[in-house]
Amino acid sequence: MAAVRRDSLLLFVLVVAVRSVEGNQRIYNVFNFRAAGDGKTDDTQAFLATWQAACSDGNRPVMAIPGGRAFLLSQVSFQGPCKSPITIKLDGKIVAPNYIWTKESANLLTFHAVDYLTLDGNGQIDGQGAIWWDCFNRKRCYDRPILLAFAWCNHLTVRRIHLTNSADKHMTLFQCSQAIVDDVSITAPADSPNTDGITVAYSNNTYISNCAIQTGDDCVSVLSHTKNVTVTHSRCGPGHGVSVGSLGKSETALVEQITVSNCSFVGTMTGVRIKSWQGGKGYAKGFLFENLNMTEVQYPIVIDQFYCPQGNCPTKYGGVAISDAKFINIQGTSSEKEAIRLLCSQSVHCQGIYMSNINISWVNHTSPPNATIWNAHGTTGGMVVPRIQFSNSL
């Protein structure tokens, strides 16, 4: 009799796992589609089968990835459109293969053309990037996979998940509109190459909040053809700060309305930065960097129209026009004497720069840090340390 009751209870649990949670809303559990969840068996086909079933459901389905288990995946593309808004509840751990599994540009997980998608949960996606970083440093791996990519996904929400040790960038948003990334944590070693936290390109209306990002490159990077991005109440470090660019290397730059507010930067290379290549075209305008705290940041405030990571770029005429950038209420310490760098080109000056209530000290030194200003036009208000001398005569 006890065995019958156990069987009945198991059947009930399985039915609930695939049926309603609210009205007609259904949960599609990857285990019901033959996922192993042992971290060794490739669960790619099980995840795709679960996705196809959920995506075909018109009643706000949930795709469940249970906690306490690890799921091995490799280069999975979740295709839309889906019949209704869809939620992925990630409580388990997704892991990439621990070997060099591709020689081409690829993503571990891609969501393509899925509108009203929510990715939420306490789970983790681990790119097992160490083998890739070593391969890259030995100049054997030029193309490395991105961990989590969203393309043409509108009204997207990513919340609470943890991303770690991507081979390359951790999360990318491309051609997305109305995206919210909230309470997401991202971790990779400070010396891991090109492991940007969140990269936004060709997108508009992106809101990033309450995130903690530790990487070997930009915590957040904003690339061309992007408008209305807000990064707020987030922590960056280690990493290269929050960067706009690089812009203008191979396409016309179009960036506007970027806000970074109420964020902290700890031990980063830069704090907030706008970077572009010489000879570029286009514009980047409408920046607000406000209420920021810097702790031993090498260069807390940077505009660089001479971006050249290789260090041997030829001089070129022209550049991306950078204008209307406000830096307000920025406090803390720099680890280098040159705390502010506004390096603008002689052919395309920076215009409309405003600095107010800036107080940056040079860590472990009594003398204040310096500011280097080339061809930048602007004004100051309130206290500004280090002292700024704009180039206001044309």
The tokens describing 144, both together, are 């490395």
Task: Please tell me the distance from the alpha carbon of residue 4 to that of residue 2, in angstroms, as a whole number.
Answer: 5
Half-sphere exposure of 207 (CA within 13 A, CB side): 9
Of 170, 240, 349, 377, the catalytic one is: 240
Query: Is there a contact between 28 and 54 (Cβ–Cβ < 8 Å)?
Result: yes
Burial class (CB in 10 A: 0-12, 13-18, 19+), 287: buried
Tokens read off for 312: 């041997």
**In angstroms, what CA-CA distances link 299 with 127, 174, 333?**
30, 29, 9
Collect all residues with Cβ–Cβ distance below 8 Å to 21 and sequence separation of at least 6: 27, 62
Torsion angles phi and psi, residue 297, rounded to 5: -90, 135
Sign of the CA dihedral 255, 110, 125, 177? positive
Q: Identify the helix (H) or strand (E) that includes residue 132.
A: helix 130-137
Token pair of 356, please?
């107010």
Known active-site residue 240: yes
Cis peptide before 369 (omega within 30 of 0): no
Active-site residue set: 240
